[in-house]
């Protein structure tokens, strides 16, 4: 028997017993990797599932273009958990253009309805981009993994067996940061406008201990790189944390994709959504 209903009931009783508590248990969306295009230029993923507290669901598809560092033309589409609070200037708002729902009809705003519309809307663009290569997962900490480790995610580009010899594959460390102001009193819950903050993902090649001159001979290989996105938080939403859940590379090792999960305090609950960035490797 699943323990989830029992846990949810216990948390609900705890909330009722706590003065001023009105928050509900949040649920992160499920992530599915759609893969790379054959040339490594595009990387796609979808996320599905509402936060468990709101009656509104979520299903969204995004494709990142390595050449621009932004979403490919026509993407993202659908609704993430944070889309329903988005302002007209927010890309989340544009991603829902054409989606019709009725505030008096809960089913029209739930995940199955959003999924049907999003899949129909993106079927032709996805076919045109040809995300036919699944890629190889190198590292990450999926949100269901309770082994929460601090610090960067470390990985190697190829599956060397490291023993007496440290291996020849290049080792990397990757970190993600969302630079939002410290707000211990959660005044952001009362913020009536959207706010933008830099979301930065930094990839650092590790210098081989057995070859300290490697960076001098190949400075480009060992150059630290950062990709920075402008991340918009909807009104009355607070940034909580950022987690790297997946690191993928394509078969030809020309592209690395890093997927991050952003956790936000949306007042009634915690909500979450995925973003991705791409690093050219050659």
Total number of domains constituting the chain: 1
Cβ-count burial 114-128 (b if 16+ within 10 Å, e if not): bbebbeebbeebbee
Return mean pLDDT, the chain.
89
C-alpha angle 179-247-250 in degrees, rounded to nearest 5 = 130
State residue 12's pLDDT score.
45
Res. 16: pLDDT tops 70: no
Tell me the Cα Rg of the chain: 20
Confidence of residue 13 (pLDDT cuts 50, 70, 90): very low
Q: Distance between CA 45 and CA 187 in Å, rounded?
A: 33
What is the average per-residue pLDDT within 72-84?
96
Query: Does 182 map to a domain?
Result: yes
Query: Does 49 map to a domain?
Result: yes
Query: Does 10 map to a domain?
Result: no
Backbone angles phi, psi at 48, to 5 degrees: -140, 135
Res. 2: pLDDT tops 70: no
Confidence of residue 234 (pLDDT cuts 50, 70, 90): very high
Res. 275: pLDDT tops 80: yes
Res. 18: pLDDT tops 70: no
16-30, 34-48, 165-179, 206-220 — which is least confidently predicted? 16-30
Query: Does 155 map to a domain?
Result: yes
Strand order in the sheet with 153-156: 153-156, 171-178, 195-205, 225-233
| Structural contact between residues 84 and 60, judged by C-beta atoms closer than 8 angstroms | no
Percent with pLDDT over 70 in the chain = 90
Confidence of residue 196 (pLDDT cuts 50, 70, 90): very high
State residue 280's pLDDT score.
95
Confidence of residue 14 (pLDDT cuts 50, 70, 90): very low
Query: Does 9 map to a domain?
Result: no
Confidence of residue 1 (pLDDT cuts 50, 70, 90): low
pTM: 0.89
State residue 104's pLDDT score.
85
Query: Does 188 map to a domain?
Result: yes
Confidence of residue 8 (pLDDT cuts 50, 70, 90): very low
Confidence of residue 192 (pLDDT cuts 50, 70, 90): very high
Query: Does 15 map to a domain?
Result: no
Res. 17: pLDDT tops 60: no
Q: Structural domain of residue 219, as residue ranges?
A: 24-159+168-280
Query: Does 210 map to a domain?
Result: yes
| Structural contact between residues 191 and 235, judged by C-beta atoms closer than 8 angstroms | yes
Tens digits of residue pLDDT in 157-184? 888 777 656 667 889 999 999 999 888 8
Tens digits of residue pLDDT in 209-218? 888 898 899 9
């Amino acid at each position: 028997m699943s323990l989830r209903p029992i846990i949810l009931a216990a948390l609900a009783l705890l909330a009722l017993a706590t003065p001023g508590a009105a928050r509900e248990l949040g649920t992160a969306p499920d992530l599915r990797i759609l893969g790379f295009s054959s040339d490594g230029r595009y990387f796609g993923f979808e996320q599905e599932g509402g936060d468990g507290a709101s009656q509104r669901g979520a299903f969204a598809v995004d494709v990142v273009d390595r050449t621009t560092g932004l979403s490919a033309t026509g993407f993202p589409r659908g609704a993430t958990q944070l889309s329903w609070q988005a302002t007209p200037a927010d890309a989340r708002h544009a991603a829902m253009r054409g989606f019709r729902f009725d505030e008096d009809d809960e089913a029209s705003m739930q995940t199955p309805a959003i999924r049907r519309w999003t899949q129909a809307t993106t079927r032709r663009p996805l076919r045109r981009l040809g995300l036919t290569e699944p890629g190889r997962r190198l590292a990450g900490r999926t949100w269901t993994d309770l082994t929460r480790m601090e610090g960067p995610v470390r990985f190697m580009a190829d599956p060397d067996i490291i023993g007496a010899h440290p291996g020849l594959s290049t080792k990397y460390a990757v970190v993600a940061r969302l630079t939002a102001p410290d707000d211990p009193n959660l005044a952001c819950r009362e913020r009536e406008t959207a706010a933008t903050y830099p979301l930065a993902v930094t990839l650092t090649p590790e210098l081989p201990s057995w070859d300290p001159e490697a960076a001098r001979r190949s400075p480009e290989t060992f150059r630290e790189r950062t990709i920075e996105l402008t991340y918009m938080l909807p009104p009355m939403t607070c940034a909580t944390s950022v987690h790297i859940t997946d690191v993928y590379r394509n078969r030809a090792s020309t592209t690395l994709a890093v997927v991050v999960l952003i956790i936000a305090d949306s007042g009634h609950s915690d909500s979450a959504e995925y973003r991705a960035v791409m690093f050219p490797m050659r």
